[in-house]
Chain A
């Protein structure tokens, strides 16, 4: 019937750039009563439309009872998975009337196959046979989790139709290639379909979907409304794409950025500072926000709701102080830095000492931290200057990460870097414990060992530099072989 042609055309319109895959899938499905390939694996990047396409395709072409959709992260045990599948195949949902039970009790693969072979008894009179007439589909999303469910689940599912002698097709969706699914003793290999990445045109077309087709009416300050149409949005999304595509091609990320940056972009129009067709000027005015976006929004250092709140505050502010408002918002966003720690003065030194202990080789301790008298002794001994200060080697400690050190070494360094003598009131072990609780220090030996404890420093170089700056300690002088 023309239904099929219509629905396929509709799907192709809704999913640009996926017409080949739609054709392939539709031809593999065939008519409901046809035999189908036992298992299909669809793989592709994240947000390449696998789940949405497969769900839409199945829902528009066959009845809801014929397919079951299971997310393997949500249903992570065999019981949950199979019971849900059978529920969906029988259009049963746990509810108040049936005391929230599933239609059949299935504990493992064995029971599942019994249900498939013998049918599900709906009540005394009716049994529902699954897959004896029309093809039933079992769609497993995030199929890579199936590997962790037990060694026999995945091979059995790949040949489900042969084992159960029913017309069932298993569709696996995953971001991981099939080679990683293979088991030691082999299994039936599924038909592999790849969803390629979207081209730039397709991405822009999908981004444009978020913008309503009739355009948008924008209220300018006491001057009436202006109409923003599709072309305006198109140029905006092109700009966004060209900025971000080098480090991020993920469609969902781009949509997120577009949604949050668009209000800022049209803000100057709202204030009357620019007209809709002056895209270069708009772009220049929005430049600082785009720079922030690369850092904060993309890295999710600031949540989208907070960003939206700040920018809407900005939109409400008056136009006279507009540029200062912009600057202040940016400043506010920037200072929302992570990890604004406030440690006691000496604890900061303790942390610095631990960093130095982790990243400096022990043999240079004497050089850096001992008093001047020992230097003289060394000079007399002569030319034992072994490893010269080579910098930039690939195996330097900065790259390899922190090394474990005994507590005594850290304490020795600590006492040598603080200037004045400590009061005995300060309890150093308690500070060490609190640093460990804050996960700024890591204890590498077991809790059982009471003496000879070793620790490791867990902070990054930027953080420790900030800490050192706050106590006015020049840490760079004491670090060996750092760039």
Chain B
């Protein structure tokens, strides 16, 4: 995993990325993604041609930026570089520069791990926080700064509960990572007991002066669900009682992880928990967003045109953050979930569509992207069903109103028949006809394939027309769907939205 196409000089690349580069040890510690050729001066000709070719969107330029440069191609490369650096940050490949709302937790964790690395103290701790509150980022940053200081004096082993689903594979992974890092011979083990014994001997032998190992356990709660929690027990046991300095850092999003641990495991754990919270005020939230989207300040060696572009971009970004439309989008996410990841998700499309014609971000892009991501997918799906299926759904809604939560196809068809009789009697049935039972059954099964209608029991005990189902929509969604349906006959609309005919 070497960084290919190494930058010759750190000149053109922003100082933030330089810190990523300095770490020579690139094995597992710094998640140093091969951030590719963003140095415009090293970009080959074909790539820059392609860059200008990608910028082919023929949309009208919303705001004419101040003339940055004469050359279209160099503007395109600047835009490309900006795009890449922002995309790196939104897709969480590179570390954010400031973790302002997590500074206290950062200090705690850094102090803890420093003790392990410097002094040889064994420690264990648990990082608990919501999804997207920055646990992995925090750990990576701490490791990064430790690497800067102590270089190769410690080893890290990273495990993930999603991947290593049982103790055996976890052990294999630990052995793999340790032996690769410290260039030991590759031994293959056949049984769990053997590998465990080897590993324990490896880890237990040694004194305060052996290389400290930091274990990072992602999705810690999943490890607690392995049989007998053998891995956790052993790790905490080593941390507690043996001389070899190890640190165990668990990351989890479950607040009740401590309850999941067995008594013997819990007693060996140091009960040190660090809680992470998302930004508490809207100001913090929006400044975190702004720091992700803004381009880092250029240093003295950047090209003048490039500097101008960066300045203009950041100014446009400032203007964007004053725009009420944009702020409404961000505010909504803050009010609902305070999750920075949701902001990142809606940033992908506007950032990806940056081009030489549209070198700055506009509020409407974010608004459109936000609308798309938070559209109620079930109602959207209902826009595309056929009229018969829509009528069946409305019939199910009517049955629901009548307090029959579960129903079968016969009941729905009965309701449909009643509706058709009613509209035909009152003369409103223009162009609609009563379909046969079998045709309606096919439409019903089509709805089942979307999982909008689910059977109550998983095993069928009677003919399929009689199987009890429940509808996975609620009344407001149904009336919404009827309202948005294209070319809906008025009779159906009235019936569906609840007004009496």
Show the binding face of A for B, using Cβ within 8 Å.
1-5, 8, 23-24, 27-28, 30-31, 33-38, 43-46, 48, 108-110, 113-114, 117, 132-133, 144, 150, 152, 155-156, 161-163, 165, 167, 175-180, 185-189, 191-194, 196-197, 245-250, 294-295, 298-299, 394, 398-402, 442, 444, 456, 458, 460
Contact = CB atoms under 8 A, between A and B. Distances in A.
A167 B163 contact: no
25 contacts: A1-B53, A35-B84, A36-B87, A37-B91, A43-B381, A45-B381, A161-B91, A162-B136, A165-B33, A193-B372, A194-B375, A194-B377, A197-B384, A247-B389, A249-B384, A295-B438, A298-B439, A299-B442, A394-B411, A398-B410, A399-B408, A400-B410, A444-B461, A460-B463, A460-B465
B54 interface: yes
A110 B449 CA distance: 32
A155 B349 contact: no
A132 B34 contact: yes
B37 interface: yes
Given A30-B87, A132-B1, A192-B373, 10 more contacts: A23-B57, A27-B353, A156-B163, A189-B342, A192-B377, A295-B438, A299-B442, A399-B414, A401-B462, A402-B462
A3 B352 contact: no
Given A156-B163, A161-B91, A249-B384, A399 B53 contact: no
Nearest to A41: B377
Residue from A45, A144, A399 whose CB has the most chain B CB atoms within 10 Å: A399
Interface in B399-419: 402, 404, 408, 410-411, 414
Contacts of B91: 35-38, 161
B432 A179 contact: no
B215 interface: no
B377 A402 contact: no
B152 interface: no
A249 B385 contact: yes
Interface in B353-399: 353, 372-373, 375, 377-378, 380-381, 383-389
Contacts of A28: 348-349, 352
A46 B53 contact: no
Nearest to B51: A31
Q: Which 9 A-B pairs have the closest CB atoms?
A: A401-B466, A197-B384, A177-B377, A247-B388, A399-B410, A156-B162, A1-B53, A152-B162, A27-B352
A251 B90 CA distance: 38
Q: Most A CB atoms within 10 A — which of B80, B173, B221, B462?
A: B462
B7 interface: no
Contacts of B131: 186-188
A294 to B, nearest CB: 7
With most chain B CB atoms within 10 A of its CB, the pick from A48, A178, A185 is: A185
Contacts of B341: 188-189
A455 B387 CA distance: 39
Given A1-B49, A3-B53, A192-B372, A35 B93 contact: yes
A442 B405 CA distance: 27
Given A165-B33, A176-B450, A399 B381 contact: no
Given A33-B37, A180-B451, A298-B442, A189 B222 contact: no
Interface in B454-489: 461-463, 465-466
B366 to A, nearest CB: 14
Nearest to A301: B438
A326 to B, nearest CB: 23
Contacts of A458: 462-463
Interface of B: 1, 4, 31, 33-37, 47, 49-51, 53-54, 56-57, 80, 83-84, 87-88, 91-93, 131, 136, 160-165, 169, 172-173, 176, 221-222, 253-254, 341-342, 345, 348-349, 352-353, 372-373, 375, 377-378, 380-381, 383-389, 402, 404, 408, 410-411, 414, 431-432, 435-436, 438-439, 442-443, 446, 449-451, 461-463, 465-466
A196 B384 contact: yes
A179 B349 contact: no
Contacts of A295: 436, 438-439
A439 to B, nearest CB: 10
A114 B28 CA distance: 13
Contacts of B88: 35
Contact of A43 (B49, B377, B411, B465): B377
Given A37-B348, A132-B4, A196-B383, A31 B408 contact: no
Contacts of B80: 31
* Most chain A Cβ neighbours within 10 Å, of B54, B136, B253, B345: B54
A144 B49 CA distance: 40
B372 A394 contact: no
A201 to B, nearest CB: 12
Contacts of B388: 246-247
Contact of A401 (B47, B381, B408): B408
Contacts of B345: 189, 191
Nearest to A156: B162
A160 to B, nearest CB: 10
Contacts of B51: 31
Contacts of B169: 108, 110
B54 A194 contact: no
A35 B87 contact: yes
Contacts of A188: 131, 341
Nearest to B93: A35
Contacts of A2: 53
A43 B435 CA distance: 29
B414 A394 contact: yes
A303 B75 CA distance: 61
Given A27-B353, A46-B449, A247-B387, A163 B84 contact: no
A170 to B, nearest CB: 12
A295 B438 CA distance: 8
Given A4-B56, A30-B352, A177-B378, A400 B384 contact: no
Contact of A1 (B50, B93, B385, B410): B50
Given A35-B87, A36-B91, A180-B451, A185 B436 contact: no
B348 A33 contact: no
B253 A186 contact: yes
Contacts of B53: 1-5
A194 B35 CA distance: 30
B455 to A, nearest CB: 13
A163 B160 contact: yes
A194 B374 CA distance: 11
A188 B90 CA distance: 13
Contacts of B461: 444
